[in-house]
């Protein structure tokens, strides 16, 4: 347990440049606190002490603003940055080395008592406000852009942006040693589609103008030919 605690502290130092000391993390990081509450609640839930598990989870939600169902399965080196408004559903599965930002929802789309929440692979980063809804998998080393709404499976080593989320494949091999999410540098498929439309419209307007100019240039020649015949 002590080794796990040290690993959690080290994870915060690695992914949050604002962290200055272990004392600051222990007392001032709600994501770290939420993970401690989750571990206790999950241990109770696994022993079929469901009420105590839910009660512990609810207390953790009250103090941190982060709701993690005790039935969820979370791997090692998990980090929640800021954390307010994060919701993780009962059948969610999260791999090792994942990062969530504030406002993220890992939610379900069914009322049936079955697997209804997403599965995140290893080293997945989910940006602020993103919603991942449904019992599908987000592949290893993938990134979900801020405020995206993801409702279908995401391949490995890919980036998802937009509403609904669209997969944008990155060239080359992603460096999984550094967890980042440069929101301002993510591609925008919607904007790219509009740009293609504008480019096509400009091309058509240019062509129409060329044809119009050719028609005007040919009119005097046609009138001269008629006069000669007359």
Q: What is the CATH number of the domain that holds 101?
A: 2.160.10.10
Could you tell me if residue 196 is inside a domain? no
Q: Read off the tokens for 82.
A: 């800021």
pLDDT of residue 206: 83
Ramachandran angles phi, psi of 228, nearest 5°: -65, -40
Residues 6+ apart with CB under 8 A from 153: 136, 137, 138, 139
pLDDT of residue 196: 79
Positions of the chain with pLDDT lower than 70, given as ranges: 169-193, 217-230
pLDDT of residue 185: 56
Could you tell me if residue 209 is inside a domain? no
Could you tell me if residue 217 is inside a domain? no
Could you tell me if residue 203 is inside a domain? no
Q: Read off the tokens for 196.
A: 């293609």
- Angstrom distance (rounded) from CA 227 to CA 230: 5
Could you tell me if residue 137 is inside a domain? yes
Structural domain that includes position 165:
1-171
**Helical axes 2-15 vs 30-46, angle rounded to 10°:** 140
pLDDT of residue 179: 47
How many domains, the chain? Answer: 1
Quote the pTM value. 0.73
Q: Read off the tokens for 173.
A: 């091999």
What percent of the chain is helix, strand and coil (3-state, nearest 5)? 40, 15, 40
Could you tell me if residue 16 is inside a domain? yes
Could you tell me if residue 64 is inside a domain? yes
Could you tell me if residue 230 is inside a domain? no
- Angstrom distance (rounded) from CA 164 to CA 230: 69
């Amino acid at each position: 347990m002590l080794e796990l605690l040290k690993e959690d502290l080290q994870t915060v130092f690695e992914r949050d440049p604002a962290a200055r000391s272990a004392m600051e993390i222990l007392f001032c990081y709600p994501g770290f606190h939420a993970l401690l509450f989750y571990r206790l609640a999950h241990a109770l839930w696994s022993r079929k002490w469901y009420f105590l598990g839910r009660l512990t989870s609810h207390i953790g939600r009250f103090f941190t603003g982060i709701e993690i169902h005790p039935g969820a399965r979370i791997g090692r080196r998990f980090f929640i940055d800021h954390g307010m408004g994060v919701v993780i559903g009962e059948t969610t599965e999260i791999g090792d080395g994942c990062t969530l930002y504030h406002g993220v929802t890992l939610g379900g789309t069914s009322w049936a008592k079955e697997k209804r929440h997403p599965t995140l692979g290893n080293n997945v980063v989910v940006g602020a406000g993103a919603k991942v809804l449904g019992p599908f998998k987000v592949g290893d080393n993938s990134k979900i852009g801020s405020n995206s709404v993801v409702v279908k499976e995401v391949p490995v080593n890919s980036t998802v942006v937009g509403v609904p989320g669209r997969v944008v494949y990155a060239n080359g091999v992603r460096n999984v040693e550094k967890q980042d999410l440069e929101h301002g540098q993510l591609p925008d498929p919607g904007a790219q589609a509009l740009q293609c439309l504008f480019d096509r419209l400009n091309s058509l307007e240019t062509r129409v103008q060329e044809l119009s100019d050719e028609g005007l240039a040919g009119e005097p020649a046609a009138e001269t030919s008629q006069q000669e015949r007359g």
